[in-house]
Chains A and B, each alone.
Chain A
Amino acid sequence: MSVQDIYDAVVEFSVDKVVSLVDAEVKSGTDVSEILSNGLIAAMDEVGQRYSEGEFFVPEMLMAAKAMKGGLEVLKPLLSQGDSDKKGTIIIGTVKGDLHDIGKNLVSMMMEGAGFEVYDLGVDVDTDKFIATAKEKNADVICMSALLTTTMPFMEVTVKAIREQGLSIKTMVGGAPVSEDFANKIGADGWSTDAPGAVETARRLTAK
């Protein structure tokens, strides 16, 4: 039994196994941040890598993220502020008028899997709610998702509002119709074509 087993169980997306292994590892006295970094987060990096190479299909990535989350739940009560090695705080949701949330849910999970503190506001989120929650949680990044081309303009509205209020919160946009050009045009700080890319972008934006 070792941190490596936890890593393997995440990569094999076995939720039950991850939970019991993390539990046992904690009881045996292994450092909690060691389990988190070298077991759970490192495994999700591997999963993202395998997905990018075409070895893993999307459902496998999703299930690995779920397994990772199961392990994270065990660790959460034990993580003190210092241990958690917090990567940053993310607010995420689909924009006003858009209920399509599959991509957003995947990004949300992958962000959690990468060690971010994630507040998922769900679907049909308006500018005020994005900004109010971001302020309340002292968030680093607001991530907005849209599938419908007709709801994309709400991304620009939110980015504008953040700038107008002089907030230092970064913004990321994603979803099928979103392109780099669009992200640049509306002044978003980041964008990505897929979930692992979104994690990379969030890491870049929150790098201190």
Chain B
Amino acid sequence: MEFTKIFSQAEVERVHEASLEILENVGMLVRNQKALEIFAQNGCKVDTESMMVKFPREVVEKARETFVPTYTFTAQDPKFDITMPGDRPVVVTGSSAPNIIDPKTGEERRATSDDIANIAYLINELPGFDVFSISTLADDAPEGQFSLSRFYPALKNCKKPVRSNTPNMEDLKDVLELGYLIAGGEEEYRKRPFINHHYCPVVSPLTFDVESTEAVIYLIEQGLPVYGTIVPNAGMTSPLSLMGTLTLGNAEFLGLATLTQMIRPGAPMIYAVLSTVADMRTGAYAPGAIETGMLQMAHTEMARFYNVPSGGYIGLTNAHTNDAQSGYETGMNTTGALLAGADLFNMGGLLGSLMAFDFGKAVIDNEVALMLKRIKKGYEYSEENLCLDLIAKVGPGGSYMDADHTLKNMRTIAVLPKVATREMRRRWEDQGKPDAHARAMKEANKILSKPNKGRFSEELDAKIREQFKGLVAGDAKWSL
């Protein structure tokens, strides 16, 4: 499959050059002490007083030499391990929403650890999703267990790679401790680190923050999986033009990538972004806007220039319910990104610009994911697939319905959707006119009504609960 290109080679190189100019002349504000030291030791010009770091171009170019082209998400169950770009598109849930649309009442409320358990189980079962980024916060978290109350129900109920962030180092270390227990020891865990860490250490414009930069440095040093997303917002934290925001975001990616390669040359990375254009009427955040998809496409082209996997939060929506807006925002932006060659899609399950998880949205996004994967699978060009013999055999006026070829392909050639309807109107009316949301909730209900077999063993669970006293139950429980 040829990828959609937005720029000529000369234009791509100019964006790279311009990014180097920004890093060299404007520099970045680095609020983390360790990062300042690392930059200073590796050839950057560091002013410890003002925390300003300037990057000579040869420093950035040196970091580029050790970029690696692949990134793997490891799972508790090895059959779910997934590597980019080979296994693209890697579809991930959207994460860390404070709220959930209650599946019974349809009303928005704070999400809990029980919700995370249900979501984890659902994502484990939906084939379109490859990675479970923990969708919500847990409002019922006991004091001191903010992150454990998210990772425990997630890891207990989902054997696919689990991904999320932690707000501080204590929480990060607790979460790793949980990983060690599940793996049967630290050494075992390090062989297959199935907790995939993610942060936004760069706050646009051009600033490294304190806590998440600390976590990123620690994880890279430890050789554990981590990557960052760059999040400029045009008109607010970056220039109000697509070119300006692309270039600033690209410079910020290079800044983070340089730090990463300074700590551990060859550390895997993803060129991940959530570049947006703010709605200047109100300042509203607009991740569902078409410009988000356009920016993702251009960032992906830059990532290809650097030969690193690309993607980000693409396919989010501002809609508050599973309506047409929710569908076209997710559908159009992810399709654009896929055609441009993006590998990673943080797209599933969230409404209201990352504010609330919705079970129906997750099931619909699973179907969008399956469609994206169908596009990626493509035409499978071959002489045989031209079907010349078959066309001659059936001839003019014949039928292909009973051909062996048709029987062979009928279950695999097309996506067979569970949410999209293909019923005649009359039949759909007889069913009570269910819309996409209603059909999606039916699917969610079908999956979640069965008990989850993939939980922890009694023995392991007892060990975990012994280690972390007062931990939430973390079991998937569903009733509508």
Contact = CB atoms under 8 A, between A and B. Distances in A.
Interface of A: 54, 57-59, 97, 99-100, 102-103, 106, 124, 148-153, 176-177, 179, 181-182, 185, 194
A102 B236 contact: yes
Contact of A58 (B99, B137, B283): B283
A130 B313 CA distance: 34
A149 B96 contact: yes
B282 interface: yes
Contacts of A150: 96, 137, 146, 165-167
A88 B109 CA distance: 34
A153 B209 contact: no
A185 B139 CA distance: 11
B203 interface: yes
B285 interface: yes
B283 A97 contact: no
A21 B211 CA distance: 46
A35 B209 CA distance: 42
Nearest to A52: B282
B137 A194 contact: no
A57 B165 CA distance: 34
Contact of A176 (B110, B237, B280, B285): B285
B201 to A, nearest CB: 10
16 contacts: A57-B281, A58-B282, A58-B283, A59-B280, A97-B168, A99-B203, A106-B283, A124-B31, A124-B210, A149-B97, A150-B137, A151-B167, A153-B146, A153-B167, A181-B109, A194-B282
Contacts of B236: 102
B214 to A, nearest CB: 11
A94 to B, nearest CB: 10
Nearest to B29: A99
Contact of B98 (A58, A100, A102, A182): A182
Given A97-B167, A150-B137, A176-B285, A102 B97 contact: no
A208 B353 CA distance: 38
Interface residues of B, number: 29
Contacts of A149: 96-98, 137
B98 A152 contact: yes
A160 to B, nearest CB: 11
Interface in B180-237: 203, 207, 209-211, 235-237
Interface string B337-374: 00000000000000001010000000000000000000
Contacts of A57: 280-282
Contacts of A58: 278, 280-283
Contacts of B355: 176-177
Contacts of B235: 59
Contacts of A148: 167
Interface string B136-149: 01000000001000
Contacts of B166: 150
A149 B138 CA distance: 11
Contacts of B203: 99-100
A148 B98 CA distance: 10
Interface string B154-172: 0000000000011110000
B237 A102 contact: yes
Contacts of A153: 146, 167
